[in-house]
Amino acid sequence: MDLQLTDRVFIVTGGARGLGRASADVLVAEGARVVLSGRSQESLDEATAALDAVAGRRAAVGVVADNADRETPERLLAAADEAFGRVDGALISVGGPPKGPVTEISDDQWSAAFESVFLGAVRLARELGTALPEGGSLGLVLSSSVRAPLPEMAISNGLRPGLAMVAKTLADELGPRGVRVNGLLPGRIATERVAELDASTGDPDAARRAAEASIPLGRYGKPQEFGTVAAFVLSPAASFLTGVMLPVDGGLLRAL
């Protein structure tokens, strides 16, 4: 299938590593160009150099930016315009909040996570989404916690369902302009973040085995498998798909 991504330009937050990087890899392999944001100049330089090498041309630029910064959306849009003269979509990865149960998460932790995970993502979605042209596409990388709570992940369980509803509402608001908005709900994908969560249990091998036992496909997902789904959802090939919260979890979620 031709995803019709040649020369299209996408902003990918958190694009230097993890699911953002996996998505950028697939987008560039399909002919798109990307503006990556992240907190480390070194990791961004490494990612953009690798993507340029794969594409055989200038296909990626990096912008050091924090999702919680009010100026980030404007800076990312300006970088896309300066480097490539257009922007066709964005993938907003909202990061992973601290682990812990409701009874142990402090007010300060909730406030900090709200600023970055929730309000930062809402701001990016609002500003980037309203800047997209007809045919544009916006994706939010959320979590399976949108539909079912995860043990020891109180902040994620509290904030991500709200973000999903914001995305659904924004799909209603931007739809008349021909701009699509969707959410992606990754389950256990083999990223550094998931490895850190497994390690935090004290027995990462046992944690992985237990998690895999709950997944019908019997394994963790590969980052590229997530990236391929993200690229499709962002692409014109998914032109009648909007307002959807799409699990990418190997069947982990049991709800319809």
- Assigned domain for 1 exists: no
- The radius of gyration of the chain from alpha carbons, rounded to an integer in Å, stands at 17
The parent domain of residue 102 ranges over: 9-191+223-242
- Assigned domain for 157 exists: yes
CATH number at residue 115: 3.40.50.720
Predicted model pTM: 0.95
pLDDT in tens, the chain (256 residues): 899 999 999 999 999 999 999 999 999 999 999 999 999 999 999 999 999 999 999 999 999 999 999 999 999 999 999 999 999 999 999 777 889 999 999 999 999 999 989 999 999 999 999 999 999 999 999 999 999 999 999 999 999 999 999 999 999 999 999 999 999 999 999 999 899 889 989 999 999 999 999 999 999 999 999 999 999 999 999 999 999 999 999 999 998 8
Q: Which residue intervals of the chain are DSSP H helices? A: 18-29, 41-55, 72-84, 107-113, 120-131, 154-174, 192-199, 204-213, 223-234
- Assigned domain for 238 exists: yes
- Assigned domain for 255 exists: no
- Assigned domain for 107 exists: yes
What is the rounded CA–CA span in Å between residue 4 and residue 8? Answer: 8
